[in-house]
A and B are shown apart, each in its own frame.
Chain A
Amino acid sequence: MSPVLEVRGVTKAFADGTGVRRVLAGLDLDLHAGEVVALRGPSGSGKTTLLNLVAGLIPLDGGTMRLRVAEGVLDLHAMDPAALTRVRRAHMGYVFQFFNLVPTLTVRENVLLPLELNRRWELRARALERLEALGLGDRADAFPDVLSGGERQRVAIARALAHAPALVLADEPTGNLDADNAGRVAHLLWQQVRESGSALLVATHDPEIAARADRTVEIGGAAREAP
Chain B
Amino acid sequence: MRLLVVSQLRFLRQAPWSAATVVLGVALGVASVVAVHLISVQVQRSLDEATPPHLGGLTHVIEHPGLNAERYFQLREQWRREADSPVTALVPLIEGHLALEAQRLLVVGADWLAFPAQAGRGPVVARVPVEVLVGEAVLVDAETGYAEGESLRLGGRTFTVAGVRDTGLGPAVLADIAAAHALLGRPPDTVSRVGAAVTDPWAWWRHWIDRLMPGFAAGLPRPPVRPLAELMPATAALANALAKPVTAERPSAEFARSVLFNLGALGTLALLVAWFLIHQMGVIWLRRQHLLLSRLHVMGVSRAGLRRAFLSLFVILGTVATAAGVAAGVALAAALVRLSSEGAATPPAAPAVVAHVDVWVLLKALASGLGVCLLGGYGAFQREWSGRSEPSRWRWLALPALAGLVALGIGWEGSGVLGGFLAIFAMSVGTAALVTPALAALRRAVPRLRLGLLGRLALREVVWYPRVLSVALAALTLAVATAVGIGLMVESFRLDFARMLESRLDGDLYVSDVAGALPALTSWLRAQPAVTGIRPSGRARVRLQGEPVELGYARFDAAESARYGYTRPLAAGEALISERLARSLDVQPGDTVAAAQGSVAVVGTFPGFGDALGRVLVDAGTVPRFGLTPRFDRLTVDLEAGSAVAAEMARRFPDVQVESRSEIRSRALEIFDRTFAITRALTLLALAVAVVGIYNAQSALKLQQAGTRRLLHAQGLSAGEARGLALLHAAAVGGVAVALALPLGLAMAWTLCQVINPRSFGWTVGLHLTWQAWLVPPLSGLAAALAAGALPAPREREAGHEAA
Contact = CB atoms under 8 A, between A and B. Distances in A.
A94 B708 contact: no
A222 interface: no
B464 interface: yes
**Of listed B712, B714, B718, residue having the most chain A CB within 10 A:** B714
B716 A85 contact: yes
A104 to B, nearest CB: 4
Interface residues of B, number: 22
Interface in B681-731: 707-708, 710-719, 721
A24 interface: no
Contact of B714 (A82, A94, A103, A106): A94
Interface string A95-111: 01001111111100100
Interface string B11-38: 0000000000000000000000000000
Contacts of A103: 464, 708
B711 A102 contact: yes
A140 B105 CA distance: 90
B712 to A, nearest CB: 7
Contact of A89 (B457, B711, B716): B716
Report, as a range, how many residues of chain A touch the other chain: 20 to 34
Contact of B711 (A55, A92, A100, A141): A100
A86 interface: yes
Given A85-B719, A109-B456, A104 B464 contact: yes
A34 to B, nearest CB: 22
B461 A104 contact: yes
B453 A82 contact: no
Contacts of A86: 716, 718
Contacts of B594: none
Interface string B437-467: 0000000000100001110110011001000
A116 B716 contact: no
Given A55-B714, A85-B716, A116 B460 contact: no
A57 interface: yes
A73 interface: no
Interface in B564-582: none
A82 B708 contact: no
Contacts of A94: 714-715
B452 A116 contact: yes
Contacts of A102: 457, 708, 711-712
Nearest to B721: A117
Contacts of B713: 57, 85
B650 to A, nearest CB: 76
A87 B721 CA distance: 15
Contacts of B714: 55, 57, 88, 94, 96
A105 B460 contact: yes
A67 to B, nearest CB: 13
B722 to A, nearest CB: 10
Contacts of B447: 106, 141
A152 B713 CA distance: 19
Contacts of B708: 102-104
A90 B716 CA distance: 8
A159 B447 CA distance: 19
Contacts of B456: 105, 109
A53 interface: no
A88 B717 CA distance: 9
Nearest to A171: B714
Nearest to B720: A82
Interface in A140-154: 141
A86 B720 CA distance: 12
Contacts of A127: none
Interface in B420-450: 447
Interface string B50-83: 0000000000000000000000000000000000
A113 interface: yes
Nearest to A57: B714
A46 interface: no
B464 A99 contact: no
A85 B723 CA distance: 14
B717 A99 contact: no
Given A82-B718, A86-B718, A100-B711, A116 B464 contact: no
B452 A85 contact: no
B457 A82 contact: no
Nearest to B712: A102
Contact of B453 (A57, A90, A100, A116): A116
B567 to A, nearest CB: 62
B715 A113 contact: yes
B442 to A, nearest CB: 12
A173 interface: no
Contacts of B711: 96, 99-102
Given A85-B717, A104-B464, A116-B452, A99 B457 contact: no
A118 B713 CA distance: 14
A112 interface: yes
A117 B717 contact: yes
Interface in A58-108: 81-82, 85-90, 92, 94, 96, 99-106
B708 to A, nearest CB: 5
B92 to A, nearest CB: 80
Contact of B719 (A82, A92, A109, A116): A82
B245 to A, nearest CB: 63
Contacts of A85: 713, 716-719
Nearest to A160: B715
A195 B454 CA distance: 29
B644 to A, nearest CB: 77
Contacts of A141: 447
Contacts of B457: 102, 104-105
A75 B19 CA distance: 46
**Of listed A82, A89, A114, A118, residue having the most chain B CB within 10 A:** A89
Interface in B362-406: none
A106 B457 CA distance: 10
B715 A109 contact: no
5 contacts: A82-B718, A96-B711, A105-B456, A105-B460, A118-B716
Interface of A: 55, 57, 81-82, 85-90, 92, 94, 96, 99-106, 109, 112-114, 116-118, 141
Shortest beta-carbon contacts, A-B, top 10: A89-B716, A104-B460, A88-B716, A116-B453, A99-B707, A94-B714, A85-B718, A104-B464, A102-B708, A85-B716
Interface of B: 447, 452-454, 456-457, 460-461, 464, 707-708, 710-719, 721
Given A96-B714, A104-B461, A105-B457, 9 more contacts: A55-B714, A81-B719, A85-B713, A85-B719, A102-B708, A104-B464, A113-B453, A113-B715, A116-B453
